[in-house]
A = this chain, B = another copy of it.
Amino acid sequence: MDTRERLIQSTRELLWERGYVGTSPKAIQERAGAGQGSMYHHFHGKPDLALAAITRSAEETRSRAEAELGGPGSAAGRIAAYLRRERDALRGCPVGRLTQDPDVMADPRLRAPVEEYFTWLTDRLAGLLEQGRAGGELGPGLDPAATAAALVAVVQGGYVLARAAGSAEAYARAVDGALTLLTRQTPAKEGR
């Protein structure tokens, strides 16, 4: 991995762990094993590097989601697979994390990938829910857009609960609650 790439990866990690304000160029350089001059050669400054890191994280997070959402099985099954996918719930979402960073949200260029990711994810879930409704798998009274928003919120909020409790269990509980409401049947508990 070349220097430029290491700088991007280090920035992605630090933005995830400590946010934009909590991430200094010095810390990025140390983690990447690169010097001051090296960083400023490849990027114009902290915002420029953050843009590269955020764009990459949003793309990758989207790809990981699509792996389950576009997988085999019924609509509800694919949604359940996505929500229950093995996650490090205590680390949270690298994209959702950024919404709490005022400096990121204040910069239209840094904010765009974040907004786009959530729009895509919500629409993707809504499409799947619509499909499940059409197939009779889910109730006919279901509102795809609102339900999709609720499910995405459960994932993001599940991370908050997990961090607050200091345990990934809290994430799993929230997701189980949501899936039970969605499918109206007792969730499989043997899985955990």
Q: Which residues of A contact B (CB under 8 A)?
A: 17-19, 21-22, 92, 96-97, 99-103, 105, 111, 114-115, 117-119, 122, 139, 141-143, 145-158, 160-161, 163-166, 170, 173-178, 180-182, 184-187
A128 to chain B, nearest CB (A): 14
Which B residues touch A155, using CB under 8 A? 153, 157
State A176–B147 Cα separation when bound (angstroms): 8
CB pair A146 B21 closer than 8 Å: no
Nearest Cβ distance between residue A57 and chain B, in whole angstroms? 14
**A59→B40 CA distance, assembly (Å):** 46
Which residues of chain B have C-beta atoms less than 8 A from A102's C-beta? 17-18, 22
Q: Which of A139, A141, A158, A178 has the most CB of B within 10 A?
A: A178
Give chain B residues whose Cβ lies under 8 Å from the Cβ of A139. 184
Asked if A160 contacts B21 (CB within 8 A), the reply is no
Q: Which of B115, B145, B158 contacts A157 (CB 8 A)?
A: B158
Return chain B residues, CB-CB under 8 Å to A153: 153-158, 160-161, 174, 177-178
Could you tell me if A174 and B146 are in contact, using CB atoms closer than 8 angstroms? yes
